[in-house]
Amino acid sequence: MKLTVLGATGGTGVQVVQRALDDGHQVTAIVRDPAKLPAGLRDRAEVVTADVRDAAALTPHVQGRDAVITALGTREGRAPTTICTDGARGLIEAMRAAGTSRLLLVSASGLAADSGDGPVTRYVFKPLLQRVLKENFTDLRRAEELVRASGLDWTIVRPPRLLNGPAKGAYRSTVDRNVRGGRTIRRADLAAALLDLAPGTGNVGHVVCVAG
């Protein structure tokens, strides 16, 4: 596949670029600072410095792609942020202009407490998490709303708490509800899940939750 990855220097983005290249895909990595992408990936991917809010700057780099994956996130802790919302808005405009339809957005399972969660997670842990990460989740929720209304072939992917370390080589997933007992996932396994989902077989227009 020909893929474009936004947020390519973040914890998840680096893993997506790494896994995609290792699997033989062609990757365009959209970054703010190329130096933050490991040298071994810079040598193998097409690296583009662009403002993700600028649709015109993104358009040529999403044109002709089989899928676009956005793994944008804030580096400002719990402070107010609009990076995911602004990035989604710019990307959607660019994809429409380019005629590219397949979009995957990395979000967070903490946004929703539903029937997939156990009672403690649903009624205690998730409400607490939503208060603590209110600003981050507000940004992600707005980005999700834009993606849902985009008219593109979208899939929203919601992982739980992300861990570093080597891939375990397996993950669980559910459609339109949280994974029961799914408290963590390694970023490397999330990257594998995103690439498995990228072709869009059976998951377009759905939220897919993944967990280790």
Least confident piece of the model among 81-90, 97-106, 114-123, 155-164 = 114-123
Q: How many domains does the chain have?
A: 1
What is the CATH number for 12? Answer: 3.40.50.720
Share above pLDDT 70 across residues of the chain, in percent, rounded to a whole number: 98
Query: Structure pTM?
Result: 0.93
Is residue 173 predicted with pLDDT exceeding 90?
yes
Residue with token string 């956005």? 70
C-alpha span between 118 and 77 (Å, rounded): 27
Residue 76 reports pLDDT greater than 70: no
Look up the domain containing 14 and give its range.
2-211
User: Residue 73: what pLDDT?
Assistant: 86
Q: What is the residue-wise DSSP string for 108-170?
A: -GGG---TTS-HHIIIIIHHHHHHHTHHHHHHHHHHHHHHHTS-SEEEEEE--EEE-SS--S-
At 25-63, the pLDDT tens digits run: 999 999 999 999 999 999 999 999 999 999 999 999 999
Looking at residue 112, its pLDDT comes to 81
